[in-house]
Structure formats: C-alpha cells, structure tokens
Chains A and B, each alone.
Chain A
Amino acid sequence: MSSTFVGVDVGSSRTKVAVLDENKNLLGYAVRKSGVDFSATALEVLRESLEMAGRTEADITCAVSTGYGRANVAFAADTKTEIGCHARGCYHYFPKAITVIDIGGQDNKIIKLDAEGRRTSFKMNRKCAAGTGAFLEEMASRLDIPIGDMDGLARQSTDMVKLGSFCTVFSATEVLENIRNGKNVADIVKGVFFSMIKRILEMDSLSENVVMTGGVVANNPFIVAMTEEQIGRKILVAQHPQLTGAIGAALYAGGVPPQSGLPGR
C-alpha cells in the first residue's frame, strides 16, 4: 500500500477532508456541515473520504488539519492555518505567481504568491461578515429561498438591483425594501452577488493570475463569471474549489514544498 496523506479543513460552515497518495493524486474526499462537535464531524468526514479512497485509518501516513477548528482534530499530527493551506492548494493546481481569493463561510482571504509559491502577503476580511458565505445565507433567508437556488436565479437576472450598504444587516434591510418595491428576486440575488464581489475586490489589489476558491465559489460559479467581468480577465478555478484548503493541508502532510513539480495542473 502506498502512502496516504490526509488534509482536514474544519471551517466555520463545512468540514472538508482530502486524501492524497504519494503522487499527490486525490483519492477521496468528503464535505459535511461542521456542526458544533468539530472532532466528531472531522472523524465522520475522514471515514467517508477514506472509504472513497479505498483506504483505512491504519493506512494514514500523516494528517494535517486547518481551518477554524484545526485544533479540534485529534488525529492530525500538525496544524496549519487556512491561509497557508489555501495558498499551498492553489499553487498545486496553478504553479505560477497568483492571487488567491478564498470566499469562506465567515471570512474571506486574499493571498498573494510569487512564481515559486512563496507567500508575499495576505489579507483577511475585517471582523465584518459582509461578503462572506454567512452574508449569502442571511440574504437567502431574507428572500426565503434555498441557498442552493441562488446561482440559478442570479443567472436569470435582467436588471440587477444594486445594494449600497457595507453591513449585512443593512443590506438585508435594502433587500426587504426592494421586495416591497416589487423587484424581481433574480435581480436582487444578482445584486447580492455583486455586493459580495465588491467587498472582496476592495480588500486588496490583484496580480495578473487570479484563482478563486472556497465553498461559495463551488456552489455559485456565477460569482466567478461576474468577478471576471469586473476585473476584465479570466479567473482560474481548480476542479474542487471547496477542497483547496484540505488539499493544501494534505500536501503539508506529505511534506511537499511548494516548489516541487506537481500533477493535476
């Protein structure tokens, strides 16, 4: 049996596990709601992803955890920050100078890497949740629509509503006002997406190559298309954008330096 490297990303919203072999091939993965018992969830997601990989817990060579609940993963040998792991995961797929935009459940990150994969700077959103996954959840709740319907609705918009507020609560008030004024839900949802993109683009400047990651992007690919329109160029997205942090953690578990050549580009 070859080596088995595991990365566990315990985010505020979802827990993700990625299982890699010694050639950095993605053998298995799983995603679940983090819930309130991070340790138990991490273990459940681990077992599900190992089953997909055809491996057992005994096969694990090394596991590294990341994300807000990184300290709650008992089976992890080490922890790394989600900033490090998203950077490592993105460089795995796009080994060049990149700016990573990660939209998470309760925070956003902009991470800059040079051509050798070295982090040159990073920024997280400030304490405010505007522009994060939590913002989308709140807006879906106000609009009384399943969050999974937002991407499809936004694509149907013909006359996007513009939301002016920075604040999630005030944005919700604006949404209610637009509902009262008879605005189309699809136009409001696109406005919500646009507001989110504005919050992110004001965090930092972007280099030529931009990569987007995170659960929000995985579930709402239209946000990538809208961001491309804003910045005027194509954005790179890995095959499993929600798993990028977990994959980065698994690469750390394998002791993979960012400079090494990797498959799956």
Chain B
Amino acid sequence: MADKETRSRRLKTASDIARFMADYYYQLDEATRSGSRKIAWCTSVGPAEILKSMGFLTYFPETHAALIGTRKLAADFIPSANAIGYSPDICSYLTADIGAYLKGVTPLAKTFPGIERIPGAHVFVYNTNQCRDVQDWFSWYSKEFGAPLLGVETHRNIGEVTAAHVTSIASQMENLIEPLEKIAGRKFDMDELKNVVALSRKCSVLWEKCLATASAVPSPLTFFDATTLMGPAVVGRGLQSVIDLYGLLLEELSERIESGEGATQGGERYRLYWDGMPVWGRLSMHSKLFGDLGAAVIASTYCSSWIFNSLDPAAPFESMARAYAELFIVRSEAYKEKYIREKLEFFKCDGIVYHDAKTCPNNSNCRYGLVQRLRSGTGIPALILHGDLNDMRLISDEQTKTNVEAFIEQLEENS
C-alpha cells in the first residue's frame, strides 16, 4: 500500500519522451547499418549545434553509459576496462561504456528490440567542460573505430565569463569547421547553424521553465523524474520535435500546479535539493526511500546542466562559447556556492543532499568545504551520501538508508 502511495506519479508526456528516445536510437541504428547519414559522437555538453547544422546525426555515449547504469550492468563491464589500463577510480561512465564495448554488449539491445550494437562513428567531438575523462574516452574509441578526434578545451574554475574566455572557446569551435567539412563532405552553412542555435535556445528556455515548475508547492516534478525527462534536451536540442515535447511537458506540469497535484503521492512534508550525479542504478530505490519518508527531492544542479540561455542565433559561435563556459561544472567555488544558495531559496528547500560520487570528482561539490559554508550561511541542513553514478560496488544501501532516515528524523525533530 505504502509502495503504491509513495510512488512518483508518472507524467503523460513521459511516454512521448520515451518514444522520442526510442526513435532517436533507431535512427542512429539505421544510419549505422545503411550508411545513409554521417554520425558524430559528441559529449553531452559539447558543440552539438555545429554538428547538427552540418547534417551529422549525433550520438552521446554518456546517455549509453547512463543506460548501463540504470540497468545495473556497470559492475559487469568496468573490470574489462580496468584490465586494459583504465583505473576503477576514474569516471565509471567511461569504464562501464568501454568495458561493455570490449565485451560486445549494449543495453540498447534489450531496451530497443532489433538494435544489436552501439552506433558507428565518422568523427568524435568532445568538450572538456565536463571533465578530462571525456577526452580519454573519445580518444580510445577514435583509435578503435579509426575515425578522427576533434575537441574543445575549456577553461576551468571560471568566476565571471570574460571576453577572453569567449574568444578562446569560440575560436576553437570555429576551427572545428574545416575538418568537419571534409568528414561531412559538405560546406558549412552559417544560416543552418543559426537555425539550430535558435532551436537549441528555445529548447533550453522550455527545459528551464519545466524545471522551474518544481518551485510550486507541492512540486509537480521530482529530481528522479527529471533525470529521465531531460533525455531529449541532451540528445535532441536543436530539433523542433524536442521543443514540441517540452511545450507539452510544461503544459502538463502547469496543469498539475493548477490542480495542486504533487509529483509524490505520499505528500511533501520536506522539500529537498539534490546536488551531484544521480545514482543511476538506484533511481527508483532512492525515489521510494525519500518518498516513503514524505521527502520530495524536487530540484537539482545536475538536471539544470542542459540550460544554455546565452545561445543567440545572431552570434552563434560567441554565444555557444559563452553558453558552454557558463555551465555550473566549470565555474569557481564562489560561483557554485552562490548558485546553490539561490536554488535553495527559489525552490523553497528544507534540506540539501549531496551525492559524493567516488568516480566523478567534477560533479561532487561537497569536497572543498562548500557544504559547511552553505550550511552556516543558510542554516539549511545538509546530508552527504557516498556512492557513485554507475559503479554500484561503491554503494552501501544500508548506510544510505540509515543516513537518509536520520536526516529526515533531524528535519522532523527540528521543525
């Protein structure tokens, strides 16, 4: 009974989004089999707009790695990558994905009948704004597939994004054009890029609005829902169909707000913010754990990673450079502290949960005193969960459960 009551209510648009993701993978599979379209592998916050404007289908191996995580398969694959020199301490997206390839397995096969392998590649394009691991990841596949490797090296620890940052990144992006033209077999067209950038911006604005609905009480959306709803913003920004999807999602979320319908049937005694990566192999378990305690995890830093509101079709390269340099993950500690403080206020949060992911230091923001600074600055209680995004061998479910229960007890007794 409790199980039924606290399960997150499924949004109708979630089915449309699942269908979009299926179509996306089938399109890539068809292109791989037939050679009908060129395929570019791109990092999830990489320069996808450039690639799309030049006719490439884009594939994002991070989404594949996350699928490995949600299917709880990572621990089966990671050792194979370890054995060829990729440490168990580095990104478990990288090790799980390369390990799966080495074993000749993909979770796409079970998820989407008929697909037997990951997409092929004509070029690999990374952006190190997330981490250096993506560069190593793509570099390995580039050698394996015999396809060229291109990339953008982003500045880190950025306070204010300056003209120097923008110029540096924009020029690196412009330098991608010539080699991409050769691979694509066609000329770059500025108008097409402007069009894609305009569509990407619309997608970004709508996704941000969807996430912002969680400021309503009760929230129509949970963090756990958003981790799957964000799929089209990752793989399909720059497409009109994604804008249509997020328009529908926003409409549905707004209807929930109007009718006072919260995302968690069990209620919303406490509103929590999640910082860090999701634990992909424990999404439903965590959703239930928090939900059963009347705690709604409503917002996160992670799901906001696909908001690029600086995109401007009037100045595509400069605005892409700015948008990708404004990302939370490449910013200074002071910026991050201010950002989270504002989010806690905007979403009216009673507490914050930090996920310290063992193999993802760049997304673990609790390692440099930020937790203590924010707690003393806001008085908002904090909990740190030790785990990982993909490697479930690094998780203690019992410790997580005790920590979460104790945290909610603390909120309860102090309220």
Interface residues of B in 86-122 (CB under 8 A from A): none
A119 and B382 contact, Cβ closer than 8 Å, known pairs A81-B405, A124-B399, A127-B396: no
Residue of B whose beta carbon sits closest to that of A12 = B398
Q: Mask for A188-213, Cβ within 8 A of B = 1, else 0?
A: 00000000000000000000000000
Chain A CB within 10 A, most for which of B382, B398, B403, B413? B413
Q: A83, B402: Cβ atoms under 8 Å? A: yes
In this assembly, does B375 line the interface, its C-beta being within 8 Å of a C-beta of chain A?
Answer: yes
A81 and B406 contact, Cβ closer than 8 Å, known pairs A118-B414, A123-B384: yes
In this assembly, does B410 line the interface, its C-beta being within 8 Å of a C-beta of chain A?
Answer: yes
Residue of A whose beta carbon sits closest to that of B386 = A126
Q: A119, B403: Cβ atoms under 8 Å? A: no
In this assembly, does A21 line the interface, its C-beta being within 8 Å of a C-beta of chain B?
Answer: no
Q: A119, B414: Cβ atoms under 8 Å? A: yes
Instruction: Give chain A nearest CB distance to B391 CB in angstroms.
Output: 12
Q: Mask for B180-202, Cβ within 8 A of A = 1, else 0?
A: 00000000000000000000000
Instruction: Give chain A nearest CB distance to B66 CB in angstroms.
Output: 23
Chain A CB within 10 A, most for which of B375, B409, B414? B409
Q: What residues on B are CB-neighbors of A126 within 8 Å?
A: 386
Q: A124, B413: Cβ atoms under 8 Å? A: no
Q: A81, B409: Cβ atoms under 8 Å? A: yes
Q: A118, B406: Cβ atoms under 8 Å? A: no
Chain A CB within 10 A, most for which of B396, B403, B410? B410
Q: B394, A127: Cβ atoms under 8 Å? A: yes
Q: What residues on A are CB-neighbors of B403 within 8 Å?
A: 124
In this assembly, does B381 line the interface, its C-beta being within 8 Å of a C-beta of chain A?
Answer: yes
Q: Mask for B368-386, Cβ within 8 A of A = 1, else 0?
A: 0000000100000110101
Q: What residues on B are CB-neighbors of A258 within 8 Å?
A: 413
In this assembly, does A158 line the interface, its C-beta being within 8 Å of a C-beta of chain B?
Answer: no
How far, in angstroms, from A83 to B402 measured CA to CA in the complex? Answer: 8
How far, in angstroms, from A120 to B382 measured CA to CA in the complex? Answer: 9
**Total A-B Cβ pairs within 8 A:** 39
Residue of A whose beta carbon sits closest to that of B394 = A127
In this assembly, does A102 line the interface, its C-beta being within 8 Å of a C-beta of chain B?
Answer: no
Residue of A whose beta carbon sits closest to that of B371 = A121
In this assembly, does A122 line the interface, its C-beta being within 8 Å of a C-beta of chain B?
Answer: yes
Q: What residues on B are CB-neighbors of A119 within 8 Å?
A: 409-410, 413-414
Residue of B whose beta carbon sits closest to that of A126 = B386
Q: A127, B386: Cβ atoms under 8 Å? A: yes
Instruction: Give chain B nearest CB distance to A165 CB in angstroms.
Output: 17
How far, in angstroms, from A83 to B403 measured CA to CA in the complex? Answer: 8
Q: What residues on A are CB-neighbors of B382 within 8 Å?
A: 121
How far, in angstroms, from A96 to B414 measured CA to CA in the complex? Answer: 16
Instruction: Give chain B nearest CB distance to A112 CB in angstroms.
Output: 10
Q: B398, A68: Cβ atoms under 8 Å? A: yes
Interface residues of A in 94-122 (CB under 8 A from B): 107, 118-122
Q: What residues on A are CB-neighbors of B402 within 8 Å?
A: 68, 81-83, 124
Given contacts A84-B410, A121-B382, A122-B410, 12 further A-B pairs with CB under 8 A are A68-B402, A81-B405, A81-B409, A82-B402, A83-B409, A84-B406, A84-B413, A118-B413, A119-B410, A121-B375, A124-B399, A127-B399
Cross-chain pairs A/B with CB under 8 angstroms, 29 sampled: A68-B398, A68-B402, A80-B409, A81-B402, A81-B405, A81-B406, A81-B409, A82-B402, A82-B406, A83-B406, A83-B409, A84-B409, A84-B410, A84-B413, A107-B399, A118-B414, A119-B409, A119-B410, A119-B413, A119-B414, A120-B381, A121-B375, A122-B406, A122-B410, A123-B384, A124-B402, A124-B403, A126-B386, A127-B396
